[in-house]
Amino acid sequence: MAVGKKTGGRQKGTPNRATARREREISKSGMTPLEYMLKVMRNPKADAGRRDDMAKAAAPYVHPKLASMQHTGRNGGPIQTVDITRLKGMSDQELEVLERALVQIGIVDGDPGREGGEEI
């Protein structure tokens, strides 16, 4: 197995012969398939159904789909939540003890920038 920097082969991003040939042929014809679909879609004289079909076909090339995301808590676990209404009557001292406990078990990060607070 080779070690170090790759020195041979095609440069990254350089198309292979078949791709380069296909791109040359498309450019000779004067219009790419996407350009054709957009032209039909924008033609007010074209049938409405055909215009809609061209818009649907061109959409993935112009507007890529967004990737789905799944939100999780630490280490892929559930998201931790706190019912803050339960904290309403607690004193500052009780809240500080609670914060230290949550930091120690890793549910929340400490707040070293807080006035008078110490980083644990």
Per-residue pLDDT at 37: 92
- HEC string of the chain equals CCCCCCCCCCCCCCCCHHHHHHHHHHHHHCCCHHHHHHHHHHCCCCCHHHHHHHHHHHHHHHCCCCCCCCCCCHHHCCCCCCCHHHHCCCCHHHHHHHHHHHHHCCCCCCCCCCCCCCCC
What are the residue boundaries of the structural domains of the chain, listed by start? 17-62, 74-120
What is the residue-level pLDDT of the chain in tens, covering all 120 positions?
Answer: 556 676 777 788 888 889 888 888 877 878 888 889 999 999 999 999 999 999 999 999 888 888 888 788 778 888 878 777 877 888 889 888 888 888 888 777 766 555 544 444
Report pLDDT digits (tens) over 78-99. Answer: 887 877 787 788 888 988 888 8
Per-residue pLDDT at 120: 43
